């Protein structure tokens, strides 16, 4: 059985009104569009940036459960659109000490320590809990993550928001991170794959509730029309016929 997951739109200071072709033009700058299925799936988001996001880190499960009554947060990003100069940062260029990172977060030089990577549509990045990271301006991406919203900010470009340096120092690791990856991505929290359709395609069943994320294209899923930006929940054991064209991501919690 298939069902559409209703999106939730989140206004952000760094967001955008350029959400097409995935969503209608909003009145206010939208940074995140959430698709949440109440625990049956990883949390799915679309992110749209016109400014840089904070330099931040997420805790692992053990720390988050002990201190935040929450899961930790491991995530991945799949780039949908990027300006020519767009970049993301994951981890540090070389090993550093917590003391250096804390000092650089306070004086604003932390950006120069990070491992900044150019991005283009189709790129995938894996961001494990503990990896200090940042998303730059001019990017649209699809994020797959653990169901958690625990974020510790180290640096926020002078915006008047709280920093969380003490906790960030306890959960971060101080060297390079995996960074650029490739689909499929498999980890304890989500399995994610991408596929193309041009004509007819049968998505094989899996033994878990899964999500089909439509990135591009149009056609029919079963007997229902699909468009970019839609996310469909698929029951366990259900194979899904698709007729049309487009790019899809399937993800599920293993």
Q: What is the CATH code for 191-252? A: 2.60.120.10
Q: Which of 52, 153, 194, 250 is catalytic?
A: 153
Q: Which residue has the tokens 């928001």?
A: 161
Listed as own residue / partner, the contacts of 7-11 with beta carbons closer than 8 Å and 24 or more positions apart are 7/33, 7/34, 7/35, 7/229, 7/231, 8/33, 8/34, 8/35, 8/36, 9/33, 10/34
Fold match between 52-183 and 191-252? yes
Q: Is the pTM of this model over 0.75?
A: yes
Beta bridge partners of 6: none
Non-local CB neighbours of 247 within 8 Å, separated by 6+ positions = 194, 195, 196, 197, 214, 215, 216, 217
The radius of gyration computed from the CA coordinates of the chain, to the nearest angstrom, equals: 18
Contact indicator for 210, 240 with CB cutoff of 8 Å = no
Q: What is the CATH code for 52-183? A: 2.60.120.10
Q: Is 65 a catalytic residue?
A: no
* Domain ranges, ordered by start, for the chain: 52-183, 191-252
* CB-facing half-sphere around the CA of 62: CA atoms within 13 A: 3
Q: Residue 179 has what pLDDT?
A: 83
Spans of the chain, pLDDT less than 70? none
């Amino acid at each position: 059985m298939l069902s559409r997951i209703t999106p939730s739109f989140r206004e952000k200071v760094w967001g955008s009104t350029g959400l097409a072709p995935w969503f209608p033009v909003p009145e206010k700058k939208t940074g995140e569009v959430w698709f949440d299925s109440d625990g049956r799936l990883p949390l799915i988001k679309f992110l749209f940036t016109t400014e840089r996001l904070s330099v931040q880190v997420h805790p692992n499960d053990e720390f988050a459960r002990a201190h935040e009554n929450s899961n930790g947060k491991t995530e991945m990003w799949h780039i949908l659109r990027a300006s020519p100069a767009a970049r993301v940062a994951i981890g540090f260029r070389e090993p550093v000490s917590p003391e250096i990172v804390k000092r650089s977060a306070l004086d604003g030089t932390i950006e120069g320590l990070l491992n900044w990577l150019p991005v283009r549509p189709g790129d995938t990045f894996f961001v494990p809990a503990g990896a200090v990271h940042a998303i730059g301006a001019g990017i649209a991406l699809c994020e797959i993550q653990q169901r958690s919203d625990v974020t510790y900010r180290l640096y926020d470009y002078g915006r008047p928001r709280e920093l969380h340096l003490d906790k960030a120092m306890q959960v971060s690791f101080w060297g390079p991170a995996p960074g650029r990856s490739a689909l499929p991505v498999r980890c304890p929290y989500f399995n994610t794959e991408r596929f193309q359709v041009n004509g007819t395609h049968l998505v094989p069943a899996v033994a878990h509730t899964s999500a089909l994320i439509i990135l591009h294209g149009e056609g029919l899923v079963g007997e229902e029309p699909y468009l970019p930006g839609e996310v469909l929940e698929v029951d366990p054991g259900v194979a899904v016929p698709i007729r049309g064209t487009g790019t899809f991501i399937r993800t599920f919690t293993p």
